[in-house]
């Protein structure tokens, strides 16, 4: 599979970033909020497949207030797709504030 760019301003509690099997090669999580925020990353084909606080994330990024966090690696494999959720804790169900978090990345 050729590389593809993914990006979103996260205005919902959960967002589908990529809707099929892929390998995540990079992800930048930007937090413009006044407190640290977490980005839960799930191997899921649809947002309905994820219940925040119950479904265990496959990967978590954390960004301090007005800061960013990055994943760059050999690739995280997702069998179904990628759903992300910005939250106030690493595995919790409380969504981060709308329009305060953004993601950019690459999949193949």
* Within-domain flag for 49: yes
Range 75-92 average pLDDT: 95
* Within-domain flag for 24: yes
* Within-domain flag for 81: no
Number of domains observed in the structure of the chain: 1
Residue 105, Cβ density class (10 Å: 0-12 exposed, 13-18 middle, ≥19 buried): buried
Is residue 29 within 8 Å of 39, Cβ to Cβ?
Answer: yes
* Within-domain flag for 96: yes
Range 17-35 average pLDDT: 94
* Within-domain flag for 77: no
Is residue 28 within 8 Å of 75, Cβ to Cβ?
Answer: no
* Within-domain flag for 97: yes
Give strand pairing partners of 59: 41
* Within-domain flag for 78: no
* Within-domain flag for 72: no
Q: Domain range holding 31?
A: 4-61+87-107
pLDDT band at 2 (very low <50, low <70, confident <90, very high): low
CA 82 to CA 15: how far, in whole Å? Answer: 9
How much of the chain exceeds pLDDT 90, in percent? 78
Q: Where are the alpha helices (DSSP H) in 1-108?
A: none
- Each residue's pLDDT tens digit, 8-25: 888 778 999 999 999 999
How much of the chain exceeds pLDDT 70, in percent? 98
């Amino acid at each position: 599979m050729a590389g593809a760019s993914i990006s979103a301003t996260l205005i919902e509690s959960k967002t589908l970033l990529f809707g099929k099997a892929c390998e995540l090669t990079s992800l930048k999580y930007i937090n413009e909020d006044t407190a640290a925020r977490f980005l839960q990353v799930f191997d899921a084909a649809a947002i309905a497949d994820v219940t925040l606080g119950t479904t265990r994330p496959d990967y978590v990024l954390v960004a301090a207030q007005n800061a960013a966090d990055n994943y760059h690696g050999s690739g995280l494999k997702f069998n179904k797709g990628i759903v992300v959720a910005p939250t106030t804790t690493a595995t919790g169900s409380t969504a981060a504030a709308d329009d305060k978090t953004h993601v950019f990345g690459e999949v193949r």
